[in-house]
Amino acid sequence: MKTLRTRLLLAFSFLYSMILAGLGFILGQLFPVYLENTIDENLMKTEKDIVAVMKDNNIVLTAQQIQELEKVMPKSFLLEEIATAKLQFWLILIVALVFAFLLLLFITDRLLKNLTKSVEHVTHTALELAKGNYRARAYEMGEVATSQLSKSINSLARNLQDMMLVREMEQERLKTLIENMGSALIMIGREGDISVVNRFFLKLFNKSNQDVKKHVFRDLGVDENLEEFVDYVFMTEQPYRKQIEISIEGRKRHMEVYGAPVIGEHGHWLGVVIVMHDITELKQLEQVRKDFVANVSHELRTPITSIKGFSETLIDGAYKDEDTLLSFLDIMYKESNRLQMLVQDLLELSKIEREGFKIDIIPTSLNAIVRSSIEMAKMPIEQKHMTLKVTDDEEVIVLGDANRLIQVAVNLIVNAVTYSLDYKTVHINVTKHNDYGVMEVIDEGIGIQKAEIPRVFERFYRVDRARSRNSGGTGLGLAIVKHLVEAHHGKIIVKSQEGEGTTIRILIPLAKEQ
């Protein structure tokens, strides 16, 4: 594609050639006539001068002499000189015209170079701006006629660049907001195609960008409850909020879903946006709260009902029988002790779970903790005629609160005794494992079903409710143990085989050697 400068130069060349050709043609036609007229005038003047001289000298020529004179001086003696002059004229004219043409082309080219260079660069800059390159700039030369155009183009480019930067910044902010909003988001076009999704949506439904990009929403295979919600928003074109339950890879999740239509300029309907907030944990916590209230009510009702019943019986006259009175008072005493233990455990658990709960962590001998715990749990062990075997071949020093660790160990030992038959053996091992001190309590009791192992640390959960209640347990012991171990930055691991026994492993960080 020829440049503007070349096109203009060709146009001016054609114009100059026409003008110079016409000028040459005119000069070529006029010069011979002028030359002949000049020669004729000179000849006539010469003849007149000769005649005048002859008259002045009284010289009279006869007709024959005049003819002889004309033969001596013919008019045609200048024809060759005239032809030569014409040829020289044409050569000079052609050379002059060519030189003038070249000179005009040179001057025009210099003028066009300054003019078209800025125009071409402005054109190139405009094309770059049209392609989206807002960093392009045109030359601004003050002496050029197009300098104002260059300044205008540059001002436009700067404005477009500023607008593009603002737009990119806004898009980046919007993308960051969408990607980190903490809820799953999907935008569906008016034809059902997916236009925007965030990483929480992809993570929730275990999808990749390739799985959803340029696909129709119904092809994703999401839960039908979510599809019905989206269909409702599409049909009503109104904001809608609802709590739904969806199944993802066999797992039930509770979602609070909000849908709204996306309206563009001039009321143009673009699609819908769906935001999903996972409230599964909130639902679980709500259920735990309900279960806790129900369990507390149940656990409190049993001893209170027992105490109330026996006291009413005594009031009705049973106190007159001494044996009955003592029996009832003994039962009421045990139930009141059980009620007191339940309240104490609830207060203890509440204290441990409270934010800001602290323990005094100092280097503590895990071996001494086990020995102290065995002494405190000696009575239930002796009552069931059980054997306790301790293996602590090496001294294990951990970072912990001695009183709280004794509380943990006593709970585990009492649990092992409670859920074992008489004359069984409980093994306690104290060892080191990597950066942890380890205490294992192994019993030969009834064991725990595999599906129930994750629930043993729940409040009021009992593997065998009758056995635990008869032993005086509250169902809060392992919940307290779990929170105390976590307060020590430790771990608790449960392994069990139903009918064979249970192993509970406590890992507490070791103290650094001095």
- Both 372 and 498 in a single domain? yes
Give the β-pairing of 387-391 and 425-433. parallel
Please enumerate in sequence order all residues whose Cβ is within 8 A of that of 163, keeping only pairs 6 or more positions apart, or say none. Answer: none
Query: Do 127 and 194 lie in a common domain?
Result: no
E strand spans, 308-424: 362-365, 387-391, 397-400
30 inside domain = yes
CATH of the domain at 237: 3.30.450.20
In this structure, the answer to whether residues 435 and 473 fall within a common structural domain is yes
The DSSP annotation for 77-114 comes to GGHHHHHHHHHHHHHHHHHHHHHHHHHHHHHHHHHHHH
Note whether 397 and 364 are within 8 A (CB): yes
- Contact at 8 Å (CB) between 193 and 216? yes
Query: How far apart are the C-alpha atoms of 195 and 245, rounded to whole Å?
Result: 25
Query: Per the domain annotation, does 407 fall within a domain?
Result: yes
End residue of a domain, out of 250, 266, 283: 283
Residues 495 and 453: their CA atoms lie apart, in Å, by: 8
* Structure confidence at residue 514 (pLDDT): 55
pLDDT of 508 reads: 92
Q: What is the predicted pLDDT for the residue at 471?
A: 47
C-alpha closest to that of 339 among 308, 314, 312: 308
On whether residue 159 sits in a domain, the answer given is no
Q: What are the respective helix, strand and coil percentages of the chain, to the nearest 5?
A: 60, 20, 20
Q: Are residues 368 and 492 in the same domain?
A: yes
Q: Are residues 400 and 479 in the same domain?
A: yes
> What is the tally of structural domains in the chain?
4
Residues 372 and 501 in one domain: yes
Examine the fold and report which residue of 63, 97, 131 is the final residue of a domain before the chain moves on.
131
pTM: 0.51
Q: Could you tell me if residue 171 is inside a domain?
A: no
How many CA atoms lie within 13 Å of 333's alpha carbon, on the beta-carbon side?
6
CB 181 within 8 A of CB 198: yes
The verdict on 378 and 496 lying in the same domain is yes
> Is the residue at 462 inside a domain?
yes
Token pair in block for residue 149: 């155009």
Question: Which CATH number goes with the domain that contains 301?
Answer: 1.10.287.130
**Domain-embedded: residue 419:** yes
Do 362 and 505 lie in one domain? The reply is yes
Written as six digits, the tokens of 452 are 């129930």
List C-alpha distances in Å: 454 to 8, 98, 445, 451, 458.
Answer: 88, 105, 18, 7, 8
Structural contact between residues 55 and 48, judged by C-beta atoms closer than 8 angstroms: no
The helix (H) or strand (E) run that includes residue 476 is none
What's at 152, amino acid-wise?
S
Q: Give residue 237's domain range.
A: 178-283
Does 152 reside within a domain? Answer: no
336 and 383 part of one domain: no
The pLDDT of residue 68 is 66
Which phi and psi (to 5°) does residue 37 adopt? Answer: -60, -40
Domain check: are 487 and 370 in the same one? yes
Tokens 């009902």 correspond to what residue?
305
Long-range Cβ contacts of 102-105 (<8 Å, 24+ apart): 104/12, 104/16, 105/9, 105/12, 105/13, 105/16
Q: What is the CATH number of the domain that holds 451?
A: 3.30.565.10
Closest CA to 498 of 465, 451, 430: 451
Going residue by residue through the chain, which has 514 residues, state the pLDDT in tens, using 9 for 90 and above. Answer: 356 667 777 887 888 788 878 887 777 777 677 766 776 666 677 667 666 776 777 766 666 766 666 655 545 555 566 667 677 777 887 888 788 888 888 887 777 776 667 777 777 777 877 887 877 777 666 555 667 777 777 888 888 888 888 888 887 888 878 788 888 888 888 888 888 888 888 888 888 877 777 778 887 778 888 888 988 888 888 899 999 888 887 788 888 999 998 887 767 788 899 899 888 888 888 877 777 777 777 667 777 887 888 788 878 777 777 777 788 888 788 778 777 777 777 777 777 777 667 778 889 899 998 898 888 888 888 888 888 888 888 888 999 888 888 888 888 888 888 888 888 889 999 998 888 999 999 998 888 888 788 778 777 776 655 444 444 456 677 888 888 888 888 999 888 888 888 899 999 999 876 5
Same domain, 306 and 445: no
CB 179, CB 199: distance < 8 Å = yes
Q: Is residue 342 part of a domain?
A: yes
Query: Of 268, 283, 298, which residue sits at a domain end?
Result: 283
Same domain, 278 and 421: no
Residues 6+ apart with CB under 8 A from 91: none
